[in-house]
Structure 1
């Protein structure tokens, strides 16, 4: 072939483009599994952090159960092994956020919940949150003790908030304010208020907003409230179950079947 012809240049360019594309596709596929593994490991560490545990904790020994609930509080999927491969673990919270905001039917929602067995023998329920910050998505996890009101811990992160300002939501100092705060007051849902200027002394449901990060603070406040409201039917069902007295062994529970009329 005459290398001076335009046709040669065109064919050569096409061949090179095909070769480069093939190489890039191969590299991308080769790295995809590793990338997915890294994403999974990071999420596992975030879930552990939300209950106050560090990187030395074993995810499989702490998170032994995960459920998916709909907006009515109905459990639609349960996993008790391979949690990192479960439906709950792999739900897109960004997609669920869009459904919640758009008022999708409650039965269409798929909300993940993770149940943690903590080193002190207690349990914690981990709930997701997701929203839009100043420069990009913000997300996190809020864990509640078995009373389903007291916060056991939180973990938040972001994709592009301003360093030293909105990005402070990812710091232990900010997250530490939430521990021990209450989602309910006398049985009424209050959520957690992230307050500009500082939480009132003695408040059970307020934390300090980030200085200079007002928009991010408001966005996180709204995201937590929106997601916890979506979880409310499930949370209230657990609270009701916990409030139901367990029958004493050997005790006859009176029902309409064992009541005789004279």
Structure 2
């Protein structure tokens, strides 16, 4: 009996020792790999931003991504006022270092939303905007957007031409929508129809009224320039995309900032 107990004890000691060793190895690997993971994540986000802006191709090299990204100014925009604020206001060394998702969880620099059509729950008071200039004039503005679809929060970028109204491109890069249905938000043929669409109607710059139309827009549809085809079989995802666009380009989002762009104040 005693020999049996010794055997069990040895097995337990070995198992515990191995568990500790493997835990240390896994923890060490996680710490070692984290900088590389963060670099890859940043590179992926920049690649999607640039692809949305129609500045580079999706399969661009890392060097091409870096060079193209350096052409953009990264601004911190106060939601609701459109003012560009210095990085020091949110305790970061540069606007590029500002983490919007973390900011949305910080009650000091975010707010809860009572009316929440995009389903984001909390809104960071300051958001990034990426500005591309050509001979001093704004050529492109890229805005990070997110909103809830059927199953998940969809993260993306909406790029506008220098008139701060005409869509240059759209790219959703992270979501958990249904494969073959809501996941079509990433399909090139669906994304392509956004290019050239208008977000605002002249004289109504604070309230976009963009629509995703179930069954398709049609060649003779009224206000066709403000509509794209809804995703077939994905009503709630389509509704989420529509709400996301209208919220972030509305008066509680980037509308005041875009007004400044149109007025030549940015």
Asked if these proteins are the same fold (TM beyond 0.5), I'd say yes
Deviation at residue 180 of structure 1 after TM alignment? 0.8
Q: 1:190 aligns with which of 202, 208, 214?
A: 208
Q: Highest CA radius of gyration, 1 or 2?
A: 1
The question of 1:139 aligning with 2:162 is answered no
Deviation track 1:36-62 (CA, whole Å, cap 9, x = no partner) reads 121111111101111122133444335
Matching of residues 14-25 of structure 1 within 5 Å: 14-25=16-27
Deviation track 1:94-139 (CA, whole Å, cap 9, x = no partner) reads 85499465269xx961111001357xx9710001111122222211
RMSD of the alignment, in Å? 3.2
Specify whether residues 198 and 86 from structure 1 end up closer, same or farther in structure 2 by C-alpha distance, changes over 3 A only.
farther
Determine if contact 1:89/1:112 at 8 Å carries over to the other structure: no
1:246 paired residue number: none
The question of 1:35 aligning with 2:31 is answered no
Q: So what's the TM-score if we normalise by structure 2?
A: 0.76
Determine if contact 2:208/2:249 at 8 Å carries over to the other structure: no
Determine if contact 2:111/2:124 at 8 Å carries over to the other structure: no
The aligned length equals: 235
Query: Which is further off, 8-17 or 199-208?
Result: 8-17
Determine if contact 2:53/2:140 at 8 Å carries over to the other structure: yes
The question of 1:210 aligning with 2:231 is answered yes
Local SS of the residue matching 2:231: coil
For 1:214 and 1:94, the matched residues in 2 are separated by 30
For 2:186 and 2:37, the matched residues in 1 are separated by 22
For 1:33 and 1:135, the matched residues in 2 are separated by 30
2:256 paired residue number: 233
Structure number with the bigger relative contact order (C-alpha 8 A, sep ≥ 6) is: 2
Matching of residues 5-84 of structure 1 within 5 Å: 7-52=9-54, 53-54=56-57, 55-56=59-60, 57-62=64-69, 63-71=71-79, 72-77=81-86
For 2:132 and 2:261, the matched residues in 1 are separated by 15
Q: So what's the TM-score if we normalise by structure 1?
A: 0.77
For 1:50 and 1:234, the matched residues in 2 are separated by 19
Deviation track 1:130-165 (CA, whole Å, cap 9, x = no partner) reads 112222221111111111111111111333212221
- Unaligned runs of 5+ residues in structure 2 are 88-92, 116-122
For 1:220 and 1:17, the matched residues in 2 are separated by 46
2:90 paired residue number: none
Deviation at residue 201 of structure 1 after TM alignment? 5.6
